[in-house]
Amino acid sequence: MLHLAVMPYRLHFRKPAPTSRGILTTRTIWFVHAWRSEAPEQVGWGESGPLPGLSRDGSEEFGLRAKQFCAQFNDAHFDSIDEAQQWVQQAIWDFPALAFGAEMALRDLHTGAQRRWWNTPFTRGEQALPTHGLIWMDDIDGILQQIETKIAAGFTVIKLKIGALPFDQELALLRTVRNAHPDVEIRLDANGAFSPAEALDRLDALAPLKIAFVEQPVQTGMWGVLADLCRCSPVPIALDEELIAIRSPEERDALLSIVRPQFLIIKPTLLGGFAASEDWIAEAEMRAIRWIINSLLESNLGLNAICQWTSALGGAQIHGLGTGGLFTNNPPSPLTLNGNCLQIDPSLPWQLPDLAETDA
């Protein structure tokens, strides 16, 4: 019989991390464990890490709800992993981070509990996976220094947050970067910072800088405004936070059909896991909408799984995957960063926390 359990783990940032939702110094995640009663020594691992203020299930009661979820799962007495995964999928709309962790743990158990969720050239250490260079919020000099460091390290795609500084300063900064690096791809995330009245003018101002896309230019819920922007903007529009509030396949299909964005930002932690994310991708491709996969401050466990899944999907686009270097107590893994590429080194072992001592 299959069992699930969750255990909290507190990640500590190497330095305070400024985000659009405040400065983070710690982050609590929950490791999800899956095992069979007849072989309890073989444990599949998953990770649930809702982000308060962003995730649909990011409330203070998440730990209690996760334990209740596991109790309900255990009471169902599943023997088939396929049946168990179908049950887990029922939670994707209300508890996406929890569904993500449970799906990951069950898949790990199914594939041998070796943290090889997919078998691809990347997971075997034969191919690398390029990623973007994420630029953290800072003052102008700090942002420019980060950009130069990333480009010197080999990154060909950089992503910046905009909206925290006066727009004329951000525009001047972007002109400086574009003039110095004409071939670097620049992606922007506005986090809803533009008002509906000013959004198109600001997108027009960004157009000469060859911006790849702007994520979430206005606040969520403004489908009509977004639809107009996606139709008229000279810069492609990507939806990110807009996806979080969707609670049914019908609502998802309506959003994509009405707004018609040029890109979707796919974050499995926010959308309910891999199967749910693949549903978003399938619906996007039916409408000729492109997509980029992004991680979301996962530990090395969740990051490895997302990278492996990304490699299994294939495609030539460069995604927004973390590098594992943000936390002082990130469980060591075989994932390494070489230049702008993530790669698995099979000679490096996993060093996962003790099952009884995960509240670090």
Which residue in 67, 150, 159, 161 is the catalytic one?
161
**Count of CB atoms situated within 10 Å of the CB of 107:** 23
Q: What is the DSSP string of 140-172?
A: HHHHHHHHHHHHHTT-SEEEEE-SSS-HHHHHH
Q: Is 150 a catalytic residue?
A: no
Cα gap 57→53, rounded to integer Å: 9
Asked if 44 contacts 234 with a C-beta cutoff of 8 angstroms, the reply is no
**314 vs 18, 107, 264, 278, 352, CA distance in Å?**
32, 19, 17, 13, 28
> Which residue is associated with the tokens 């004409």?
182
Which residue in 67, 150, 159, 267 is the catalytic one?
267
Strand ranges (DSSP E) for the chain? 2-19, 22-36, 39-48, 129-130, 133-135, 157-161, 185-189, 211-215, 237-239, 263-266, 290-293, 335-338, 341-344
DSSP strand pairing (39-48 vs 22-36): antiparallel
Helix (H, G, I), strand (E, B) or coil at 176: helix
Q: Is 16 exposed, middle or buried (0-12, 13-18, 19+ CB in 10 A)?
A: exposed
What is the maximal distance between C-alpha atoms in the chain?
64
Cα gap 165→109, rounded to integer Å: 46
Which residues, 6+ apart, have CB-to-CB distance to 35 below 8 Å?
2, 3, 41, 42, 43, 44, 109
Q: Is 161 a catalytic residue?
A: yes
Beta-bridge partners for 211: 186
Catalytic residues: 161, 267
